[in-house]
Amino acid sequence: MSAVPTRASMNVPLLDLKAQYADIRADVDAAVRSVMESARFIGGPEVSSLEEEVARYSQSAHGIACASGTDALLLSLWALGVGPGDEVITSAYSFFASAGTIANHGATPVFVDIDPRTYNLDPHRLEAAFTPRTKAVMAVHLFGQCADMTAIRAICDQHRVFLIEDAAQAIGSEWEGRRAGSMSDFGCFSFFPSKNLGGAGDGGMIVTQNPEHAEKLRLLREHGARPKYYHSVVGTNSRLDALQAAILRVKLRHLDRWSEARARNAALYDPLFEGSRVARPYHDPRARHIYNQYAIRVAKRDELRKHLSERGIGTEIYYPVPLHLQKCFAMLGHRAGDMPQSEAAANETLALPIYPELSEDQIRYVAASVREFTDL
């Protein structure tokens, strides 16, 4: 093996969207110019084509674009009529929106601890969370790997409750050959710039197999108006811009290549941590992992993060506080110790750079810099 590159030559950001743009600049610029010249900024063919393409990509019958991943979750819960007095079960270890959108509707998020290997909702703990008030379950596919949808689906079917997939980090990932978003009543995607399919701003989409749910979502995202100015239900404005749709359509053509490059980078990292104190991400053989994040687990995580920052390496903590311990949910009465696996993950995980354009030298530099600290 050649020498590990030194600090002077290396700077590894957590994500490098400039490198991605450089790779696809001509197509993105042409797509933007075409929308500008068409002057159709809301709705129109770019949005409807993206809806069809993402639905097809996600093995789903319908796609409903909206303003963000958060709105995708919000609209899905709305379409189910989730409201005060209802409970929605979700993972205690996720981005805030998974629980925040439940609370936005006046419903109560009920948290379930995670499987410590995958960081996803542990189906063995799901059954105990049901009550007569349970209206739905929201499974989260964290870091780009699907939750155990076979087990979760079976439990939801048995209780006859709706199932939502928060697939914001998981577009194109699979569980037993089935794509994220297609295994539930509502599959919710985010096009936030740092997701595997990211726009030049906010955006989101819901996919569903059910035409009635699709129709309801379309109504809700446009103030319940059909026809225009005749309102049968109260909705909101949650649309995706044509400019975002046009950019996302260009990027969707590269998504599989990028997700494969992320998986290849993960396969480069893995052996470099062999025999170290670093716990590597677990890849369930039943899943296609798209590595939205490559999260390692270490003791002294915060010190390691500082060490890497001094070596020019960008990292992030997803997420430092599990949802049941967030201040805004204090009224739920949770205490430290209630969800031990989520709490341990919040204390020990660190996301390393995994973006597709990383070079092998950069990966070796990151791994060597991690081990410089953890091997001590």
Binding residues vs ligand PLP (CB under 6 A): 68-70, 94-95, 97-98, 140, 166, 168-169, 190, 192, 202, 204
Paired tokens of 80: 């189910």
CB of 197 or CB of 325, closer to ligand PLP: 197
The neighbouring-strand residues paired with 262 are none
**Closest separation between CB of residue 190 and ligand PLP, Å?**
3
Q: Residue 99 CB, nearest distance to ligand PLP (Å)? A: 10
Q: Return the residue matching tokens 């430290």.
A: 336
Write the DSSP assignment of 22-85 as a string of letters: HHHHHHHHHHHHHHHHHT--BSSHHHHHHHHHHHHHTT-SEEEEES-HHHHHHHHHHHTT--TT
46, 149, 208, 209 from 56: Cα distances, Å: 15, 20, 11, 11
Report the residue number, 346 or 363, with the smaller CB distance to ligand PLP: 346
Alpha-carbon separation of residue 287 from 59, 85, 164, 227, 283 (angstroms): 16, 35, 18, 43, 7
Sequence-ordered list of residues with C-beta below 8 angstroms from that of 371, at least 6 positions apart, any chain: 272, 273, 276, 278
DSSP SS3 for 140: strand
Report the residue number, 140 or 298, with the smaller CB distance to ligand PLP: 140
Give the CA diameter of the chain. Answer: 69
Which residue lies nearer to ligand PLP by CB, 110 or 140? Answer: 140
Closer to ligand PLP by Cβ: residue 92 or 140: 140
CB of 171 to ligand PLP, least distance (A): 11
Q: Quick one: 215 or 316, whose CB is closer to ligand PLP?
A: 316
Q: Six-digit token pair at 153?
A: 């689906």
How near is the Cβ of 314 to ligand PLP at its closest, in Å? 18
Smallest gap from Cβ 274 to ligand PLP, in A, equals 29
Nearer to ligand PLP, 70 or 76 (CB): 70
Query: Cβ-closest residue to ligand PLP?
Result: 69
Residues recorded for the chain: 376
* Closest distance of CB 74 from ligand PLP, Å: 9
> C-beta of 166: minimal distance to ligand PLP in Å?
5
> Is the separation of the CB atoms in 230 and 223 below 8 Å?
no
Tell me how far apart the alpha carbons of residues 46 and 246 are, in angstroms, rounded to a whole number.
Answer: 6
* Nearest Cα to Cα of residue 162 among 142, 143, 134: 134
Shortest distance in whole angstroms from residue 345 CB to ligand PLP: 14
Residue number, 140 or 308, with CB nearest to ligand PLP: 140
